[in-house]
Amino acid sequence: MAKRKSKFVCQDCGYESPKWMGKCPGCNNWNTLVEEVESTTTRGNHAFRGVTKVNSKPEKITAIESEKEPRITTSMKEFNRVLGGGIVLGSLVLIGGDPGIGKSTLLLQISSQLAEKQLPILYISGEESTRQTKLRADRLGIKADLLYVLSETNLFDITKQIEEIRPSFVVVDSIQTIYREEISSAPGSVSQVRECTGELMRIAKSMGIPIFIVGHVTKEGAIAGPRLLEHMVDAVLYFEGERHHVYRILRSVKNRFGSTNEMGIFEMKEEGLREVMNPSEIFLEERSEGSAGSTVVASMEGTRPILVEIQALISPSSFGNPRRMATGIDNNRVPLLMAVLEKRVGMMLQNQDAYIKVTGGVKLDEPAIDLALAVSIASSFRDRSTRPNDIFIGEVGLTGEIRRVSRIEQRVQEAAKLGFKRVICPKNNLDGWTPPKNIQVIGVSTVQEALDVGIEQ
């Protein structure tokens, strides 16, 4: 008779312990250790097998032939851009997002587009019945004959159907509902998620079938389960956006076959998701010109420049500790730039409340937005507006200097395409390239120079 061994596994980080503890030593979270029972006889037979072996002998890297990965392109150019040019054969992609954000809608539309190209597609739903999936398909106007829908949570039965149908594309919605009979823990536990993902990886690599798996997210917005899940897959995509807004952002945070931090913009409509080909116009269409505290920055999202408006509101504080609030950027960046303005420019900001917002629901984290943020704060504090046709690009140092940024040519070309007349950027970025004729590029070395040039007197 097989021995049964009990262990306690953290559902957040995967830490294992022989006894229960209230606080996980691995991630310091409370009440995350759950008891899991496993059989020692079946563990060796059903352990994670990983990628199927192709050649057991080591080869010289110079002797290996370079081949371009074959890809399947969809009708959504934004989706292809995020993946680096299309869906790579044999890849395993993890997509996460808040409940109701549109993950199932997006993948069902992609499946329909591929099925219309005469490719057999298998959509596996562990959370909905086939009739529920049919209702969504009717709402989206999907009528593809080669789109097969399966409502199943048993991994053995799923594997059997994949081997029978031999689809060109598989969607598993979601990985937290799939289970293996050999593992006694509940679906969604660390052991089940790890083993099921490992089996799906083996299928994808051995049969050359791209598989998309949907993952639940925690209240912090990260994909639920151990971080091992993100290490196992080839690409990790996050579907972001406010449920009460129409725009959705598909962001790539890991991609073995393309650029990371790539971003695709979609608009949620009644008939499904539609791609936004020029997001800069969308983010700037409601901008109020001539308002103090408003600036525009050209931010790079992967390989794409996007023009976004940054708004700042500076007002006298009524309390001893002024408030510093930011939406769309790191909260720690606001007091840092306010300290630079106070020390290097002479603005008395220590008794002022600061509220910063990036419009459109975009999240910016690159250093090139520092100058636009600093100019927004100074503009609101002085109650003087910036010119409506100005773009601000640059990283701000603690000594008040403006440091160079990457890909300045692409940023300036995007600004010129949308009709902006001036770009205020680091002086060190002016060498080695020629700006477009219809836009003026002004180089600055310090924050004070940028304020003198950018804020109307």
Helices 370-382 and 333-340 cross at an angle (nearest 10°) of 60
Q: Is 103 annotated as a binding residue?
A: yes
Q: Is 100 annotated as a binding residue?
A: yes
- 340 vs 347: CA distance, rounded Å: 9
Q: Is 141 annotated as a binding residue?
A: no
Q: Is 50 annotated as a binding residue?
A: no
- 414 vs 329: CA distance, rounded Å: 22
Q: Is 427 annotated as a binding residue?
A: no
Can you give the C-alpha Rg of the chain in angstroms? Answer: 26
Cβ neighbors of 139 (< 8 A, separation 6 or more) are 270, 271, 272
Q: Is 26 annotated as a binding residue?
A: no
Helices 155-165 and 190-207 cross at an angle (nearest 10°) of 10
Q: Is 99 annotated as a binding residue?
A: yes
- 114 vs 108: CA distance, rounded Å: 10
Asked if 147 and 133 count as a contact pair (C-beta separation under 8 A), the reply is: no
Q: Is 397 annotated as a binding residue?
A: no
Known binding-site positions: 97-104
Known binding-site positions for ATP: 97-104
